[in-house]
Homo-oligomer: A and B are copies of this chain.
Amino acid sequence: MSTYIAPMNDIRFALHDVLQVESLFARLGFEDATRDTVDAVLDECARLCETVLAPLNRVGDVQGVRFDKTTGAVTTPDGFKAAYDQFVEGGWTGMSAPTEFGGMNMPHAIGICLEEMIDAANLAWSNFPLLSHGAVNALHHHGEAWQKEVFLKPLIAGTWTGTMCLTEPHCGTDLGMLKTRAEPVGTDVYAITGTKIFITAGEHDLTPNIVHLVLARLPDAPEGSRGISLFVVPKLRVARDGTVGGRNAVRCGAVEHKMGIHGSATCVMNFDGAEGYLVGQPHKGLMAMFTMMNTARLGVGVQGLGLATRAYENALRYARERLQSRALSGPKLPAKPADPILVQPDVRRMLLTCKALTEGGRLLAYHAGSLVDGAAHGADAAARKDADDLLGFLTPIVKGCLTEWGNECTSHALQCYGGHGYIAEHGMEQLARDARITTLYEGTTGIQALDLMGRKVLQLQGAGLRVFLGMIETFCAEHEGTPTLAEFTGPLRAHAAQWQQITGSIAERAAADPEEIGAAAYDYMFFSGYVALAYWWARSVAVADASSHPETFKAGKRETARFYFARILPRTAMHAAAITSGPATLLSVPDEAFDS
């Protein structure tokens, strides 16, 4: 069975050494988020993840959720409820929620670290509390005062959970097509009717009530995406004074059988005139939903990171233990019947790819998390705008790249086990199956790429990119005189210049041909992700070198950075070539000539 030990060394290195969050948090007004408090929170969460959630990971996979057709009830796997109760008692559900409604107001940057550990320990389980964050965000930003009062407290306390009900059978990406109706049935009360699919945690036995945030159309709604409104529809009716009543007309019609995250309840939800309240302005629901979706997207990126990390540490242990064949340069452990497979260059290639993508990806994700705090609490408008621009730019990169890398790394890790990786009892194949959802939900990889290219780069004229390029330039300038960093700053600068140049040339061509956007988007996102990681790796070496960490740690960072620059960063060449080839190479194949 795969195990999980939170990578506390690297998490602390990322937070404290590289991102220097203590002083950042102080500047942003999080007085309580001192280094000691942060470390205590992290340690406590790691303990919970390692000892309570991680051991339930395989249980959830084997049992899955059970659905009772007659009652519409969903039963979670053995142990899930007890673990959830413990999670609620520990106050984890409200860690980064506002104190006003019972939260702890820890920075989002810390919330991201906790999510990484929880996801790695048990992704299927993590989906139950995860969606509550989205509901909390939506209600906090767009809800009326009474809605906040009534719904936020139990959601933040974790005694209720939330959902996001967007997708319908005929529409997912294109929400403008959605059909669910909302009819006024009294003062500010609406009857919601329609079918939603892929509703994570739509029904379960962890809490008595479930708060659905539902997209639907009012009778006078314009067509398309400008006619969608947001409603809050609880499973148990809730009056404006907070009184909880009987069952609302919403019911789980089925749970999906999936490739992975079997312990997560992916529900078909049937709304049959269910009572709901409008959240925010009529017809402005999609915008409200996008607010919360951006945070959710960061969260899904972190899921990729968590799974990759867990897969990597198991594969590393296996590679140290499994004796098989000899090193090509001669036996390393002559007294043993064979050498550990860690001596094989190709096994090291797979492991170092995991190490480089996870440790680099961790900085990418944590930094983005800190920008959520910066965008909300920055000292002045300019600082908040910079943080928000950069956050918007990085969010699709975190979601798009970290989930694809999560798939790549869980696959490498499985591969290190040879045939044993394919056998369920080792747990590696579960990690690969679970990881596969992350490039699909909360917007596929292709949708992230379009968001990055179309909206964050072209519409917003590359504001976020400019901030990131500024960070690279500042870093390179700071270390101009450091010869030991020249091997990194040189290629980093060159890639930054190419990034800027490619962005400009896409923008130019897109002005003449809108198909350019879709044709370049995917490769542009990965080009960006790899250059961003080059920055974080270069900076990791600089920070490690200047730190009091042991020499082995420093060597690990430096040599992994060298690996990254030599063997991973060259992937940018392939992406650049694809971008340069333009839309014609995708659009010129006649539709009817695709068949083999």
* A446 surroundings in chain B (CB, below 8 A): 344, 346-347, 415
Bound complex: CA A256 to CA B586 (Å): 43
**Shortest beta-carbon distance from A74 to chain B in Å:** 17
A576, closest chain B residue (CB): B570
Bound complex: CA A418 to CA B10 (Å): 34
The answer on a CB contact under 8 Å between A425 and B355 is: no
Binds B, one of A65-73, A146-154, A492-500, A555-563: A555-563
Q: How many copies does the complex hold?
A: 2
The answer on a CB contact under 8 Å between A352 and B167 is: no
Bound complex: CA A9 to CA B592 (Å): 14
A7, closest chain B residue (CB): B596
Bound complex: CA A574 to CA B526 (Å): 14
* A359 contact from B198, B325, B328, B596, Cβ within 8 A: B596
The answer on a CB contact under 8 Å between A596 and B258 is: no
* A522 surroundings in chain B (CB, below 8 A): 346, 349
The answer on a CB contact under 8 Å between A440 and B419 is: yes
The answer on a CB contact under 8 Å between A328 and B518 is: yes
* A173 contact from B172, B325, B342, Cβ within 8 A: B325
A584, closest chain B residue (CB): B562
The answer on a CB contact under 8 Å between B324 and A171 is: yes
Bound complex: CA A444 to CA B172 (Å): 38
Q: Is A424 an interface residue (CB 8 A)?
A: yes
The answer on a CB contact under 8 Å between B433 and A325 is: no
The answer on a CB contact under 8 Å between A345 and B172 is: no
Bound complex: CA A284 to CA B316 (Å): 35
The answer on a CB contact under 8 Å between A444 and B423 is: no
The answer on a CB contact under 8 Å between A440 and B411 is: no
Tell me whether A559 and B174 are in contact in the complex, defined as CB-CB below 8 angstroms, given that A355-B596, A446-B346 are known contacts. Answer: no
Bound complex: CA A566 to CA B449 (Å): 20
Q: Is A309 an interface residue (CB 8 A)?
A: yes
Tell me whether A589 and B418 are in contact in the complex, defined as CB-CB below 8 angstroms, given that A324-B171, A515-B345, A574-B570 are known contacts. Answer: no
Interface residues of A in 504-526 (CB under 8 A from B): 513-515, 517-519, 521-522
Bound complex: CA A571 to CA B518 (Å): 21
**Shortest beta-carbon distance from A268 to chain B in Å:** 11
**Shortest beta-carbon distance from A57 to chain B in Å:** 15
Q: Is A276 an interface residue (CB 8 A)?
A: no
* A424 surroundings in chain B (CB, below 8 A): 256-259
Q: Mark A159-172, 1 if CB is under 8 A from B, else 0.
A: 00000000100111
Bound complex: CA A439 to CA B432 (Å): 14
Q: Is A79 an interface residue (CB 8 A)?
A: no
* A503 surroundings in chain B (CB, below 8 A): none
* A450 surroundings in chain B (CB, below 8 A): 346
**Shortest beta-carbon distance from A593 to chain B in Å:** 3
Describe A's contact surface by its main secondary structure.
helix
Q: Is A587 an interface residue (CB 8 A)?
A: yes
Bound complex: CA A421 to CA B438 (Å): 12
Bound complex: CA A421 to CA B578 (Å): 26
The answer on a CB contact under 8 Å between B173 and A418 is: yes
**Shortest beta-carbon distance from A65 to chain B in Å:** 14
* Interface residue count on the A side (C-beta < 8 Å): 105
The answer on a CB contact under 8 Å between B445 and A355 is: no
Tell me whether A596 and B328 are in contact in the complex, defined as CB-CB below 8 angstroms, given that A437-B422, A518-B346 are known contacts. Answer: no
Bound complex: CA A445 to CA B419 (Å): 11
The answer on a CB contact under 8 Å between B449 and A419 is: no
The answer on a CB contact under 8 Å between B581 and A566 is: yes
A342, closest chain B residue (CB): B591
The answer on a CB contact under 8 Å between A429 and B591 is: no
The answer on a CB contact under 8 Å between B573 and A358 is: no
The answer on a CB contact under 8 Å between A555 and B324 is: no
Bound complex: CA A421 to CA B433 (Å): 12
The answer on a CB contact under 8 Å between B559 and A593 is: yes
**Shortest beta-carbon distance from A321 to chain B in Å:** 11
The answer on a CB contact under 8 Å between A419 and B198 is: yes
* A429 contact from B348, B436, B594, Cβ within 8 A: B436
- Listed from nearest, the 10 A-B pairs whose CB atoms lie closest are A556-B593, A566-B581, A259-B429, A570-B577, A345-B518, A7-B596, A346-B446, A10-B596, A559-B589, A257-B424
- Of the A-B pairs whose beta carbons lie under 8 Å apart in the complex, a sample of 15, sorted by A's number, is A198-B419, A258-B422, A258-B424, A345-B586, A346-B450, A346-B518, A346-B522, A348-B589, A415-B440, A422-B437, A553-B593, A560-B593, A563-B585, A566-B578, A573-B574
A interface residues, Cβ below 8 angstroms from B:
7, 9-10, 167, 170-174, 177, 198, 256-260, 309, 312-313, 316, 320, 323-325, 327-329, 337-338, 342, 344-349, 351-352, 355, 358-359, 407, 411, 414-415, 418-419, 421-425, 429, 432-433, 436-437, 439-441, 444-446, 449-450, 454, 513-515, 517-519, 521-522, 552-553, 555-556, 559-560, 562-563, 566-567, 570-571, 573-574, 577-578, 581, 583-596
Other than A309-B596, A422-B440, give 19 A-B pairs with Cβ distance below 8 A: A10-B596, A172-B324, A172-B419, A177-B338, A198-B419, A256-B424, A259-B432, A316-B594, A316-B595, A327-B515, A344-B446, A346-B522, A347-B446, A355-B594, A414-B436, A421-B440, A560-B589, A563-B586, A571-B574
